[in-house]
Amino acid sequence: MKNIAVILSGCGVFDGAEIYESVLTLLRIEQQGAKYHCMAPNKLQMHVIDHRTGDAVEGESRNVLTEAARIARGEIIDLAQANPDDYDALIIPGGFGAAKNLSDFAVTGADCALDPELMRFTQAIHQQGKPVGMICIAPAMAPRLFGEGVACTIGSDEGAAGAINTMGGAHQTCSVSDIVVDEQRKLVTTPAYMLAGSITEAASGINKLVDKVLAMS
């Protein structure tokens, strides 16, 4: 049975992992006869957002790993303790946590830096020839992870696409129900809630991404 690593970035679209994208990913992995193991960096979030109002909550801090454990029902490990040798592939759901906690793309754009444990784990998976899937805004990190010329998509957002190209990536416009595959680097990306207007639309591309990642692993 294939074992898929899933890196989460907290819990909640505005300051962590996008919950629907994460759950759809986990569901599809199981439906296709594979298993998953969730992990997240053990550090504080960039900030906490009130998801009712969209406002930052002053004076409150939350831990990325602790929050991500909500999605994983407690079955989660510290990313720093994860061994790439144990997994056949990696998938990273989106949500602003990918651009705030796994990287600082939300603040610095094309000048972004990535979490060192994310870099270590993802690049080790890649160097072992294993596929990686990135969803929603997470592909904005692809040029930093996979180098110049990497093909990826965040859908059609001109600002994010421009930043990807500035970093040396090769952004491709993509519909919500489709995927972009960089066969050479074994990277699969899909827009999900960068374009989706419903959970059904998000699932259409995520299911294709999971299926392709499993097929390549």
Averaged pLDDT, 203-214: 98
User: In the prediction, which pLDDT does 186 show?
Assistant: 98
For residue range 166-180, list pLDDT tens digits in order: 999 999 999 999 999
User: In the prediction, which pLDDT does 23 show?
Assistant: 98
User: In the prediction, which pLDDT does 160 show?
Assistant: 97
Averaged pLDDT, 193-214: 98
User: In the prediction, which pLDDT does 209 show?
Assistant: 98
Catalytic residues: 136
The half-sphere exposure of 34 on its side-chain side, counting CA atoms within 13 A, is 25
Averaged pLDDT, 56-63: 94
User: In the prediction, which pLDDT does 57 show?
Assistant: 95
DSSP state of 55: -
Can you tell me the distance from the alpha carbon of 21 to that of 206, in angstroms, rounded to the nearest whole number?
7
User: In the prediction, which pLDDT does 13 show?
Assistant: 97
- CA distances for 155 relative to 73, 93, 115, 150, 162, angstroms: 30, 14, 24, 15, 12
What's the mean per-residue pLDDT of the chain?
A: 98
User: In the prediction, which pLDDT does 31 show?
Assistant: 98
For residue range 102-152, list pLDDT tens digits in order: 999 999 999 999 999 999 999 999 999 999 999 999 999 999 999 999 999
DSSP state of 168: T
The order of strands in the sheet holding 180-182 is 76-78, 35-40, 3-7, 89-92, 132-135, 187-190, 180-182
Averaged pLDDT, 9-26: 98
Averaged pLDDT, 65-70: 98
User: In the prediction, which pLDDT does 199 show?
Assistant: 98
- CA distances for 44 relative to 62, 72, 100, 114, 147, angstroms: 6, 18, 11, 15, 28
User: In the prediction, which pLDDT does 137 show?
Assistant: 98
Q: At what angle do helices 19-31 and 64-71 cross, to 10 degrees?
A: 50
User: In the prediction, which pLDDT does 158 show?
Assistant: 96
Can you tell me the distance from the alpha carbon of 97 to that of 79, in angstroms, rounded to the nearest whole number?
15
Instruction: Judge if pTM exceeds 0.85.
Output: yes
Three-state SS for 113? coil
What token pair was written down for 27?
């569901």
